[in-house]
Amino acid sequence: MFEKIQTPAVLVDLDVARRNIERFQAYADSHGLKVRPHIKTHKMPAIAEMQLDAGAVGITCQKISEAEAMVAGSDRLTDVLITYNILGDDKLHALLDLSRKVRVAVVADNATVVDGLSAAYAAAGATLEVFVECNTGADRCGVGLPSEAAELAARIDAAPGLQFAGLMTYPPVGGAEKVQAFMTAAKDLIEAKGIAVPVITSGGSPDMMTAHLAPVATEFRPGTYVYNDRSLVARGVTSWDDCALTVLATVVSVPAPNRAIIDAGSKTLTSDLLGLVGHGHVLGRPDISIDQLSEEHGRLRSEGDIGLTVGQRIRIVPNHACVVTNMVDGVYVYGKNRAPELWPVPARGKIV
């Protein structure tokens, strides 16, 4: 099926991706939870449309340029949450332009960001929905206390050009209890000020099937679930059969009986370990480890005879699917009744 594809190449089984999308949507529907997938995993409008078809209410992007690429690629992507603190005139202008085309909301975790958004939107006579980002234990962005969330919500509510949209968090793995406690406390404090909290949005594929343990959340933003990857298999939340994305590589050298070299290195698999040992899982060969990468070489090792020959092709489930799709202009989509076809990845490499 993949003989004509030059390696290294990224393959996506659309049947598996669709099954992954539908499985989580069914779970979310059964718990009254809205789904707003993060597009960081696929970066493709066509796959975002599959998520909308299943029932997603909109998409999540991390950066404005990512959102621009997604919106430009589909007139159905009309509701975008950008989960990032936006600063600086250039970005504020780009955000304004985008929000003239589609519904856009952003997050903020500090007064400087809120004030910048307010100045830009008030000057333009426009209104922007803003969430307060809360730190529920992942220790990235986010206000650290429910009282700080309430203070910032009040600032947003009072700011010209802004509308308070609710609370957002990207929790740590296993963080449902913390999400429930933090968000409930913050919501109560904000409502006590007479401000409504329309949406509470949480996310993260590792815990998505236990999202109901934080019932205060009204919306969930899974990203990796669409493709899955070795990190999620290692966490025991999915299986190799549910991994839609693989890297196709060719063995270019077998310099020793227990060592082989493939044509996929860090430029394709990336060096993201996500806490794992090795750089991916060779499908059908759990005995092989990918123990070293240079840009264009991947080194495979086995305890005994590696049993690979020069020219042979293998498929690898990468540690982290999202970073792999950032490395390629296109992925080969295929399915049970679909021959491989190269689809572009328009929102790759979008970092501003």
Ligand X SMILES: Cc1ncc(COP(=O)(O)O)c(C=O)c1O
Q: Which residues bind ligand X (CB under 6 A)?
A: 38, 40-41, 60, 83, 170, 203-205, 221-225
Min dist CB 163 to ligand X, Å, is 20
Min dist CB 239 to ligand X, Å, is 17
Listed in sequence order, the DSSP H helices in the chain are 14-30, 45-54, 64-73, 89-101, 111-124, 146-158, 176-192, 230-234, 266-269, 321-325
Question: Would you say 170 or 254 has its CB closer to ligand X?
Answer: 170
Region of 275 on the Ramachandran plot (φ > 0 left; ψ -120 to 50 alpha; else beta): left
Min dist CB 11 to ligand X, Å, is 20
By beta carbon distance, the residue nearest ligand X is 223
Question: Would you say 205 or 289 has its CB closer to ligand X?
Answer: 205
Min dist CB 169 to ligand X, Å, is 8
Whole-number Å distance between alpha carbons of 99 and 94 = 9
Token pair 């952003």 in the structure block, residue: 106
Whole-number Å distance between alpha carbons of 311 and 97 = 50
Whole-number Å distance between alpha carbons of 259 and 306 = 6
Question: Would you say 98 or 134 has its CB closer to ligand X?
Answer: 134
Min dist CB 38 to ligand X, Å, is 4
CB atoms within 10 A of CB 177: 13
Question: Would you say 204 or 346 has its CB closer to ligand X?
Answer: 204
Min dist CB 266 to ligand X, Å, is 20
CB 166 within 8 A of CB 199: yes
In this structure, what are the phi and psi dihedrals at residue 180, rounded to the nearest 5 degrees?
-60, -45
Question: Would you say 18 or 299 has its CB closer to ligand X?
Answer: 18
Question: Would you say 225 or 332 has its CB closer to ligand X?
Answer: 225
